A and B are shown apart, each in its own frame.
Chain A
Amino acid sequence: MAGEKAHPNYVAVWFWLVGLMVASVAISLFHFSESATVVVIFTIAVVKAVLVALNFMHLRFERLLIYSLAIVPLLLFFILTAVLFPDIASH
């Protein structure tokens, strides 16, 4: 069933993931400005998630259908959060 598909270098991906984890912990320990820290650590989290999805979950070898199954729920998540913002966050 699997077979033909190429395997990325999983160990290298893992090194990247661990390195990024260490980086985000280090950044949170140095007290930069709060908003800068938040932006950086969540950017790192997104990069890690994308690394896992593309390589370990083989998203980069998948078709449009599978991509949309990953992306459409994310869009809905953004819509839901944005609409809830005035009701929940600013009360």
Chain B
Amino acid sequence: MDSNKRLKRSAGGIGGSNTTRWFFVLPAMAIVICLLIYPLLSTLVYSFTNKTMTKTTFKVIGLANYINVLKDPAFFAAFGHSLLWTAGSVLGQVIVGFVGALSLNRIKNKKVQNLFRICAIIPWAFPAIATAMVWKWMLNGIYGFIPTALMNLGITGDMPQFLSTSRLAMPTLILINIWFGAPMILVNVFAALQTIPQDQYEAAQIDGATGRQSFVYITAPHIRTVVGLLVVLRTVWVFNNFDMIYMITAGGPAGASSTMPLYIYDTGWTGMMVGKASAASMLLLMFLILLCILYFLVIRRWEKEE
């Protein structure tokens, strides 16, 4: 920090710091303003108007869109699905990723450790379209590997229709999302585990600490900030995720797996009601912001304890 200040002063002396420093950050700032802030403001404005996809003119209609959205049972169904989809996916990803990372950390043979790590990373590298298509093929109700195997092994009486049964669609999507997302948690938590100084464990062992005590007093405090941030990142990402559900079930069967982004898509693109879709987007964003504030309050408390 100190040397930074020193350099800033010297930059002012030689290179005309004000112009130079803006030269570095301006292009990125322009991108953020044009591609993130402008669309946000424009969505906010649209949400109070009767704008549609086809017409260029529109007029302000006040809160009508918000009232419309909040009266729409499909909105609440989508919100409920979103909560289930996000909670189920994030919880599953964190549990699998966390247990995976702890297991990986126990393996002393570096070669084996690396092999497991590479295998576990594969799903993370899967493009959404490939994830969707390979799972759709494996779960296909007539020729899919998984239903056929389940039936041949006598676990189920007939071919289970994972993606076209209302009751099964969302849980199946969540499992696919856990498959996709757990590796990211695993790799990051594992990296955090590696930064814990080994001598702390040795000291604890000498003092007669049990494995559980070492975990609670050494491991957990070291990695919980990372885990907390991962949970925030994952929550936001999963909540906003459109691709995976759109490509696998498109929200079906009969809306059983339609989440908020799909609801916005149906309203804004298929239904062309930009105003209403914008109102729904703003509600989604507000919910996410509240959620993140809540998360950060928890994380800040942890940081203070350290």
Q: Report whether chain A binds chain B.
A: no
Residues of B within 8 A of A (CB): none
Residues of A within 8 A of B (CB): none
